[in-house]
């Protein structure tokens, strides 16, 4: 929901996401990877089941159906073949976004959901069209930020690949990365990140190492290459 008197940063994020969903209504390539949406202008808010006190402060609403977190299942309970399939489904949806001309630019574990048997993406406040003039705004989440973003470089497919690598690593390891503040996150990603997987999952070590290379030139440069490595290296 967008509040009339909300903070301008949140208003900008809401409007950016709203514009993306409006774009998706005319795009079959996007409709396959996002949740079905309903955009409700202020004129129709009163007809919805919204608390009256909240209603008075609303400008408009974006309504999405409930969808379960895709990564809620523990990797420890799955065989290697199932994990491989799990990761491939994740790569399919993010590759589809990229092939439609966008990078997500703020990937997090909770941004992958499952709806009616399909993997979908949510939260597009930072989504960017792929172009020679990408944004350098520092609006990513430090937990998932690629090293180059801490140095003010633009977001690219490589920064999305790095964020996805962190998502995969935390899910497989069963551990969340920890840092006290922004500076600590910068040191962690730029200097100290050390991938330590449980013995059961060492087969994924090489894949994650290339997704999480400190220098983007040493990372995978597209999602198809990650899928190929996932299929060929983990037989």
Q: How many domains does the chain have?
A: 2
Give the C-alpha separation, 228 to 88, whole Å: 10
Confidence of residue 197 (pLDDT cuts 50, 70, 90): very high
Torsion angles phi and psi, residue 8, rounded to 5: -65, -30
Q: What tokens appear for 3 in the block?
A: 């509040």
Please identify, among 19, 45, 63, the residue that sits at the C-terminal boundary of a domain. 63
Which of 23-37, 188-202, 205-219 is predicted least confidently? 23-37
Q: What is the pLDDT of residue 2?
A: 57
Task: Based on the fold, state whether residues 112 and 190 are members of the same structural domain.
Answer: yes
Task: Based on the fold, state whether residues 97 and 154 are members of the same structural domain.
Answer: yes
Give the C-alpha separation, 90 to 224, whole Å: 12
pLDDT at 160 over 60: yes
CATH number of 96's domain: 1.10.510.10
Please identify, among 30, 63, 96, the residue that sits at the C-terminal boundary of a domain. 63
Percent share of the chain, pLDDT over 70? 85
Q: What is the pLDDT of residue 59?
A: 64
What DSSP element (H or E) covers 89?
Answer: helix 80-99
Q: What is the pLDDT of residue 47?
A: 53
In this structure, the number of other CB atoms found within 10 A of the CB of residue 22 comes to 12
What predicted TM-score, i.e. pTM, was given to this entire model?
0.88
Task: Based on the fold, state whether residues 27 and 89 are members of the same structural domain.
Answer: no
pLDDT at 7 over 90: no
Task: Based on the fold, state whether residues 224 and 130 are members of the same structural domain.
Answer: yes
Please identify, among 63, 94, 116, the residue that sits at the C-terminal boundary of a domain. 63
Q: What is the pLDDT of residue 216?
A: 93
3-class DSSP string for 98-166: HHCCEECCCCCHHHEEEECCEEEECCCCCCEECCCCCCCCCCCCHHHCCHHHHCCCCCCHHHHHHHHHH
List, for residues 118-135, the tens digit of each pLDDT value: 999 999 999 999 987 665
Percent share of the chain, pLDDT over 90? 67
Torsion sign, CA atoms 142, 107, 215, 128: negative
List, for residues 32-69, the tens digit of each pLDDT value: 899 998 887 755 555 555 554 455 555 678 889 999 99
- What's the mean pLDDT when you consider all of the chain? 87
Task: Based on the fold, state whether residues 90 and 105 are members of the same structural domain.
Answer: yes
List, for residues 211-235, the tens digit of each pLDDT value: 999 999 999 999 999 999 999 977 6
pLDDT at 28 over 70: yes
């Amino acid at each position: 929901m967008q509040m009339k008197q909300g903070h301008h940063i949140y208003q900008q994020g809401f409007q950016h996401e709203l514009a993306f969903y409006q774009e998706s209504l005319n795009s079959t390539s996007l409709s396959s990877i996002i949740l079905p949406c309903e955009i409700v202008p202020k004129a129709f808010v009163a007809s919805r089941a919204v608390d009256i006190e909240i209603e008075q402060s609303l400008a408009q609403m974006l309504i999405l159906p409930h969808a379960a977190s895709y990564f809620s299942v523990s990797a420890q309970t799955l065989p290697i073949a199932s994990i491989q399939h799990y990761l491939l489904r994740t790569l399919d949806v993010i590759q589809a976004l990229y092939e439609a001309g966008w990078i997500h630019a703020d990937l997090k574990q909770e941004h992958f959901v499952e709806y009616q048997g399909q993997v979908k993406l949510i939260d597009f406040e930072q989504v960017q069209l792929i172009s020679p003039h990408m944004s350098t705004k520092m609006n990513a989440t430090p937990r998932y930020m690629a090293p180059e973003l801490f140095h003010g470089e633009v977001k690219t497919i490589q920064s999305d690949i790095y964020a996805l690598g962190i998502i995969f690593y935390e899910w497989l390891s069963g551990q969340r990365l920890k840092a006290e503040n922004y500076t600590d996150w910068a040191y962690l990603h730029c200097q100290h990140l050390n991938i330590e997987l449980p013995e059961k999952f060492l087969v994924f070590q090489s894949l994650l190492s290339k997704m999480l290379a400190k220098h983007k030139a040493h990372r995978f440069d597209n999602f198809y290459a990650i899928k190929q490595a996932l299929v060929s290296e983990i037989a």
